Amino acid sequence: MSRLRSPAASAYLGFAVFGALWGTWGASIPAIRDQAHVSDGQLGTALLFVGAGALPAMLVAGRAVDRHGRRLTGALLATLGAAGLLAASASRDLLSLALSLAVLGACSGAADVAINAAAADAQQRTGRPVISRAHAVFSAGVVASSLTAGVLRAIGAPTVTGFVVLAVAAAASGATLARRTTERPSGPVTDPDVIVRRSAAGLGFSRPLLALGALGALGFAVENGHQSWSSLYLRDVLDAGPLAAASGPAVFAAAVAVTRVATASASLRHPVALVAAGSVTAGLGTLVVGLAPSFAVALVGLSTAAAGTAVLFPALLSVLAARVPHRQRGAATSVVTAVAYLGFLAGPAYVGGWAAAVGLPGAVLALAALTAVLLVTGLVVLPRLHLGSQPVPPLSPAASVEAAAAPAHGHTGGAARSDPGARAPEAQRAQVDSSPPATTW
């Protein structure tokens, strides 16, 4: 199997495109605001349309990915690049900006679900910490693309330039995935059909999925609260200059990327413990930021908070990947991601509300309070989650090749029926059938 056909490589490629899109967008917001002739308040209103487009698309995308496989992921990446180009080129007033952001949000939400499902699937198939590493690739893509967009703006290139490059790269990446990605096996012996039948024939909006999504929402609220307000905090509270203030989000994203690489194995093997450790670390870092007497101390706090938030969502997705059979992973991921995304949207507004009431330092301390809620809730909820009848073990390399080569509906030839090894899957299924159903709540 070539590297381009590797499930992990496919996930990394998808996250790289996703990170590049949002890094380019973040660095281009001031220019697009001026191009659309809108005020800061109108820009904030228009940005709400990203969420309005993303949430319904997320809920639809999961089942579509389960049905159509990785080729759909490639198509969604190509569409995402085109939507970014549309938002950058067609936004000439408030209405066109809002409509183009709704389109961008829909494409982004669908692609987000698809690439997270691809990473979860690759992690279970390979037994490697793909989810955390893929999210690290996203953060690295944000940093690299935002810096590149800044350089393009500094040399006088039009705002649309970076989005043209991105659209071409996204189309090429999508075509590569659609043409060369090996599809998931339809019935590996380590993921028997009985698990699908026993797990309510579709997890839907079950309480375990909603609980995972709620925990993700708390983590994203803290993460995006820092990302969205750190520059203003450094400038307005600590009197940092424009360049120093702008370094806040970049330092935060870089710390996220490094942490996700460093903790990838722990995210795979000890996700519950990592959620607890991440909550504590994020809380301590946020407290340091809120009480910082100087710019340097605040940067240390931001880096610490970033390290804590970095591990949260990958660890939660690792819990999901280990407990949801592959044929339902896209649909389950769409529910968790959509609920978690609510926190991503609410985080900046939460900080803004507290800032209006008690000032920015007090708002940052209120952000730290969310990490305490996340810690307590995670310790209570995660040990009780039963998303499937039993953990879904990863495929060994040999089993993965065997399963990919096997017929879609099991063995059919006479030799297969006479081979004792060929009866193992049926025996395994019977054993799973006879076990008592898992407790759910």
- pLDDT tens for the chain, 441 residues long, are 445 457 788 889 999 999 999 888 877 877 888 899 988 778 777 888 888 898 899 888 877 877 776 678 889 999 999 999 999 999 999 999 999 999 999 999 999 888 988 888 888 888 888 888 898 899 888 888 878 887 887 788 898 999 999 999 999 988 888 775 444 443 333 433 333 333 333 445 678 888 999 999 999 999 988 987 888 888 889 998 877 876 788 888 889 989 998 998 888 788 889 999 999 999 999 999 999 999 999 999 999 999 999 999 989 988 888 777 777 777 788 888 889 988 988 888 888 889 888 998 999 999 999 999 999 999 998 887 755 444 444 444 444 433 444 433 333 333 333 344 444 444 443 333 333 333 333
| Residue 374 CA: distances (Å) to CA of 94, 279, 309 | 37, 6, 11
Cα(421)–Cα(441) distance, integer angstroms: 37
pLDDT of residue 405: 41
The counts of H helices and E strands in the chain are: 18, 0
- In this structure, whether the domain defined by 1-182 belongs to CATH 1.20.1250.20 is answered with yes
| Residue 409 CA: distances (Å) to CA of 196, 425, 430 | 14, 12, 17
Q: Which pTM does this prediction carry?
A: 0.70
Cα(308)–Cα(302) distance, integer angstroms: 10
Which residue type is seen at 193? D
Which residue type is seen at 388? G
pLDDT of residue 205: 63
> What three-state secondary structure class fits 159?
coil
pLDDT of residue 198: 37
* pLDDT tens string 190-223: 433 333 333 333 445 678 888 999 999 999 999 9
pLDDT of residue 377: 93
The secondary structure of 314-351 as a DSSP string is HHHHHHHHHHS-GGGHHHHHHHHHHHHHHHHHHHHHHH
pLDDT of residue 248: 82
Q: Can 1-182 and 195-394 be said to share one CATH topology?
A: yes
pLDDT of residue 286: 97
Alpha helix (H) ranges present in 359-396? 360-381
Domain regions of the chain by residue span: 1-182, 195-394
* pLDDT tens string 25-72: 877 877 888 899 988 778 777 888 888 898 899 888 877 877 776 678
Identify the CA nearest to 348 among candidates 245, 220, 224: 224
Which residue type is seen at 224? N
Pick 195-394's CATH classification: 1.10.10.10, 3.40.50.720, 1.20.1250.20, 2.60.40.10.
Answer: 1.20.1250.20
231's tokens: 């520059």
